Structure 1
Amino acid sequence: MSIQYFRPIPDLSGGRWRLAGGWTGFSSFELLERGTAARVVQDAPLEVIGALTAPRPPVLGLSMDAPRIMGIVNVTPDSFSDGGRWNEDGGIAHGRALIAEGAHILDIGGESTRPGAAAVPVPEEIARTRPAIGALSREAAVSVDTRKAEVARAAVAAGAGLVNDVSGFDFDPGMAAAAAETGAAVCLMHARGLPENMQDDPRYGDVLLDVYDALAERIARAEAAGVPRDRIVIDPGIGFGKTLEHNLAILRRISLYHGLGVPVLLGASRKRFVGTLGGTETAAQRDPGSLAVTLAAAQQGIQIHRVHDVAGTRQGLALWQAIKGAEA
């Protein structure tokens, strides 16, 4: 018998249950199985309902009962969106600006993981990220965007509370132990391949379910290394070893990933597929399309939104919440 997956279908009228103890209700499920057409069902096993409805623990002291904004602070010369733009003071002024605009978390990264990017030596990555982490962690919750255990240890020592690993502990064999020993929260992302080759004809049997299984395995590996589940966040990895069609398949049914029982982070801001569908080649002009993706994901209960345009996202979410409240 094939494995069954139950995707909660958001219910705008309120619903029988609350998704992850948050703002989205649901009353039915989309039953998904490999090789079989999806169908809507009205019930699911108790353990599935339990995983879908249990309130999520706070992340970096932030409750997960409302969408949270993670502002991107790139201290790299070659980021696809704003490479080198914020480097004059190590990204500190930009981070403070994002806090003022409403960022709940700052994600500070010193190595670009855009398609085709090369790895950065550990000492250089630490030198890029540590000043901003040290300064900004006194003013806001801070995450470090890194695949490397030594960088993660240095970042946590400087004040970072979350390690955002785009490889999901696949790149550096020491990362799981580093996360466990430092006590940091972790975000485990799904990616296939390395930045150098991840967009070279990526293929899946069923991308939605394949990514779900891979994330479940990453969670199990982190727990086995000593990282408690209440310190784990997952990210389906939009644009990392995925085509436009793969990205859309995940986004249309992203509520499935609540079944993993941990908060879900979405990083789709200014990605190439936004420009392709929205008709712009320039990354900085993709904010309206990025906001549309954020709002669609918020409707499916996604808790953390990693974005470049914090002010626009905060405004969009405020309007969405006001309208949603008026409908309730």
Structure 2
Amino acid sequence: MNRRALSDYPRSDVIHALRSGTLALDLGPFLTRIKLSDRRSIDFFRDMYAACPVSIDKAVLCDFSLCLRPPNKFRKYFRRQIVPDPGFQFPAVPLPLEMSPLAFEMGLNLSVALQCFRFAIFHAGVVADGDNALIIAAKSGGGKSTLTAALMEEDWRLLSDEFAILDLDAATLKAYPRPVSLKNASIDVVRGFAGSGQVSDTLHDTPKGAIAYRRPRPSDIETMQRAAKPRLILFPRFTDGAQAESREIDLADAAMQLIASSPNYQVIGERAFSGLMTMLEGMKAYEIEYGSTEDSLALVRELWKAHVP
């Protein structure tokens, strides 16, 4: 397949390929055919995915396809709305057209979560120090994405903000380095340490509040075929004004929380169970609570130094 970085293609070629549905995004273990037509989603894609390899070839076979489209013909012209269409029926709530970047990212999440059965998928951020990976699992609002973005500034490489993708045979984690999703107060926090140029414009009044995205670095894309061995699992909780503290939890408890976050564990069945048990061998898991980004980084450094050679 002839591929090169998105930014290497002429702007007009990219726009034509996106509008005609002939562009394939080659990211991590997945090829995704993408069709976009509105200006805002096209501009967002060209900005946030500039370093990612793509192919402009309708003959390329892809794992997934994603189209952003109006929910019906009426909404194409009046009170314009958009929905992600991952190629299967899904009850997606229509969003105003100006929120098409959010619809695009939601659509990519749906494609992986509901159509990938080669790997076990868990809802978590993953960063790596060399070939050793840290899993950051959390409920929405727990601080997962802010911590993921902060560790990028500490020279950890981004595997994913959204998914821990477990290779069931090798018990390693695959990289899928898409933009890091930031919500509400975390947007300004990440802009403060990453720089405004690394964070997208803010989408206001979305169903999740204010949303912005921190782009992956070229180095994250260059190393995305390098799998990592998971060594530590953290369940973070941000509480304003809290003292920094950590508490080790049993691996069985950690496993149950990961399983509860998985969209495909039950479908894969025994292989997912065996792969997860193999992955957890020799690992440690902690709940951490903190009141600032600086405290969260200090806890990570302390736990990582204690448990990873």
**TM class, shorter-length:** under 0.3
Report which of the two has the higher share of strand.
Answer: 2
